[in-house]
Structure formats: C-alpha cells, structure tokens
Amino acid sequence: MNLPSPAAGRPNPLRWGVNYTPSEGWFHSWQDFDVDAVRADFESIAALGLDHVRIFPLWPLLQPNRALIRPAGIADVGRVVDAAGEFGLDVSVDGLQGHLSSFDFLPAWVTSWHRRNIYTDPEVVEAEAALITALAAEVTSRPNVLGITVGNETNQFAVERHPDQQVTSPDEMREWFNTLLAAARKAWPTGMHQHSFDDNAWFVDSCPVTPAHAATLGDATTVHSWVFVAVAHLFPQGHPARTLFADYLIQLADAYSNDPARPIWLQEIGAPYPAVPFDGAADFLEQSLRPVLDTPNLWGVTWWCSHDVSRKLADFPELEYTLGLLDSDRRPKPAGLRLAELIAAEKANPTPVRQRSTAQSFDPGNEATGVGRSVADPSGELFKAWLELAAAGQKPALVRSSKTSDAGYLAARGITDVRN
C-alpha cells in the first residue's frame, strides 16, 4: 500500500480516480454484462488522465441466497478489473452494494418475510464475510487492484431517517466493521481495505457509525463530501463554505485520528445540480479540490462519478442524471475537461504538501457513542470559526480538545497555534 506520511511529505504521487458508473444501463448493467461496453467506458475515463476507478458490484446479484455466491458474478468482477488494467487503471472494489444513488440493493434473504438485521444477525454477518472473502480471493492476485471498501455508505440502513431502519449500536457496528475488514485482510493481506459512510457519521449524534469508527477502523479514513445535504441550504451561491466543505471534512477526519499519518481518501465528491449550477460545475470542481491538495496524508481524490445516468432510466433524483465527468455517450463534459487539466498540471508541478500550524479546537463529546459530534455540524459555531480562518487564507486544521495538551501529537501534526 502507498500510505503517505505527513512527517516525510507525500512519498508517492496523489492518486486521481473516479467512481465508475457504467454509461449503459447504470449498475443494472451487471445483469447484462458486456465487457466491450466496460472497455469503452474505461477508455473514456483513462483519456482524462485518471489512474483508478472504484467499482460497485451489486450484492443481490452476487449472493442471491445466503448460501449461494454466484461464481459467474464474481468472475465478472475480475473481468472488470482486467478491462481496467488494459487502460492503465487500478481498481478499488466495493463489497456490499448496498446503497447507491438513493436506491437500496439488499438481497431478498434479508428483506420482507425474511427480514434480518444485516449488522447483528450472526448468520447474515457470516454470509457477508463470505462474500467479501470471495471478492478478495478473485482479485487479489491481479496487479492493478487496490483493496476493498466494505460497502457504499453502509450506515444508510442504520440511521433514523431510513424508511426501513435496521437498528444497531456503535459497539455492534464496530464489531461488524471489524469482522468484515478482517475477512478482507485474511483473503487479501496486502490490500488497502476500509469502510465508507455519509456525513451523518461526522454530524449526527444518533448515527451508530461514529467518528471514532471512521478514523480508526481500516487502512484509511474515507471522506464523502456532498454540499447538497446541508451546506447548500445554509450558505448561498458563491459562499466559500461550499467549496471549502471538502477541506473541512478532511480536517475533521484528521482531527479524529490518533495517528497523524493515517491516510485520508477523498472517496466521493461531486457537483450536484441544482446546488451547483450546470455552468458552474467545472469551477466548483477546481475550487473544491485545490484547497485539499497540500494535505500531507491525503491518499487520493476519487470524483463522483464517471458517466451521467442515462435519461432513459427513470425515478432517479434529478441531480443523479448530471454528476458525470462524461455524459452517457462518453463525451467529456466541462468538469471532466477541467479535472483533466488539473491532473496534468499536478503531475507536472505537484502542489507542495504542508502541515497546518493553526488549529481550531472542539469538544466532540462522548467519542465512544458519538453523542456530542453534532458540534461539528455545518450549522454550528465550530464550522463558522473554522470557515472564517479558511476564508482568510490561514489554512486551519481542527483538533479535539483532549489533544490540545498533547505536545507530541501537536508536534507530529505541525500545530503551534490552537484557537479555542
């Protein structure tokens, strides 16, 4: 694994990637797998200068019965990895899909008459671990693979706003992550394995995925930055909060880690319409990414997403049809061209990494339960104070109040000025 260290700067180039959304049939294309269509998609992705993709095989198709993992489905994942390799692309594989773009993809054996808790039922967890193991075993020997993410924003099913919530606790969620990450590690010892979540994990006290889970479990802390959730409702067009939100989340991820060298992966960030106007997507992309590029332990940036959802498909939220760097005919959009320019510029003259000497402190409350984390919500005083420093060009970090007297920790992060 290429894990950067703040103390030494970034020893390996920043990784640039995209979350792969097939241009033909969206993720339903796994049911009618066409490797030539996948190759055409990857060719259009590689032409932008990207070096990796994150892929999302659908859980119900891979494991339609608790005791059945389809060999053909697993083999298709391997074929996608091979196709990516033809165009110089590395691949990160998501395991339990799970949830994608407002749609849930749970297998029938955990829903309706067979409803079982996906986090706590021992037989279900055993089956999930078996699927993670099968995916890892399929791809581990291939040269262009990175690792496994347990699933896409797996906290979605456990939060109170979900229409069919699966209740679990922070302790149970930690055990679930540990079990599935251990399965990935056993089958794929050298992979970079992590879990992912939406920003409820950072801001919502009742979310059973806590910031401590985010910053301690797995090989990297993933960040999913979406301004449409709260920031776009709180701050008007043109406000710096919108393009500094990704940086804020990265600093929050850094603050919750006890290891200053822990890698952070900006695993999802996109330009959602109407929060971001069509003609402003390219500027939003560049203005959101430039502030984070000097982060010493930033592993990579993976934009959401590769290709627009086709208008032939129904019932998506409007924003999902427009998030691609390329349209559904594989033509680059202005945001895609801007990202290509940014990648080329960074490869030719990388932004120097630097530690942040000024940090805004905060009390996160009970870190075991996550109660108190809402202090960091974009509507609160912490974000306001951090934003004032950031908008003034001071490049502030964040630091938990429990760490403000830890001289060794502060020194490792380069913090010399703590603001209360």
**What is the per-residue pLDDT across 224-249, written as a single tens digit (0 to 9) for each?**
999 999 999 999 999 999 999 999 99
Tell me the H-state helices in 150-198. 170-187
Provide the 10 A C-beta neighbour count for residue 50.
27
Does residue 59 lie within any of the structural domains? yes
pLDDT at residue 2 greater than cutoff 90 = no
pLDDT at residue 81 greater than cutoff 70 = yes
Domains in the chain, number = 1
Does residue 65 lie within any of the structural domains? yes
Rounded to the nearest angstrom, the gap between the alpha carbon of residue 233 and the centroid of all alpha carbons in its chain is: 22
φ, ψ dihedrals at 335, nearest 5°:
-65, -40
Does residue 392 lie within any of the structural domains? no
Does residue 360 lie within any of the structural domains? no
Tell me what the pLDDT averaged over the chain comes to.
96
**What is the per-residue pLDDT across 336-357, written as a single tens digit (0 to 9) for each?**
999 999 999 999 999 999 999 9
Does residue 260 lie within any of the structural domains? yes
Q: Which two tokens stand for residue 92?
A: 């990160």
Q: Which two tokens stand for residue 284?
A: 């939003």
Nearest-5° angle of CA 149, CA 211, CA 286? 70
**What is the per-residue pLDDT across 276-309, written as a single tens digit (0 to 9) for each?**
999 999 999 999 999 999 999 999 999 999 999 9
pLDDT given at position 9: 55
The three-state secondary structure class of 332 is strand
Alpha carbons 21 and 238: distance in angstroms, whole number: 29
**What is the per-residue pLDDT across 166-196, written as a single tens digit (0 to 9) for each?**
999 999 999 999 999 999 999 999 999 999 9
pLDDT given at position 12: 80
**What is the per-residue pLDDT across 43-68, written as a single tens digit (0 to 9) for each?**
999 999 999 999 999 999 999 999 99
Q: Which of the two residues, 120 and 2, has the higher pLDDT score?
A: 120
CATH code of 78's domain: 3.20.20.80
pLDDT category, 6, cuts 50, 70, 90? very low
The three-state secondary structure class of 209 is coil
pLDDT given at position 340: 98
Q: Side by side, which strands form the sheet with 15-19? A: 145-151, 90-96, 52-55, 15-19, 298-303, 264-269, 221-225
In this prediction the pTM is 0.96
* DSSP of 6-74: GGGB-SSPPEEEEE---TTTGGGGGGG--HHHHHHHHHHHHTTT--EEEE---HHHH-SBTTB--HHHH
Q: List beta partners, residue 55.
A: 93
Does residue 411 lie within any of the structural domains? no
Parent domain of 272:
13-351
Does residue 207 lie within any of the structural domains? yes
Does residue 394 lie within any of the structural domains? no
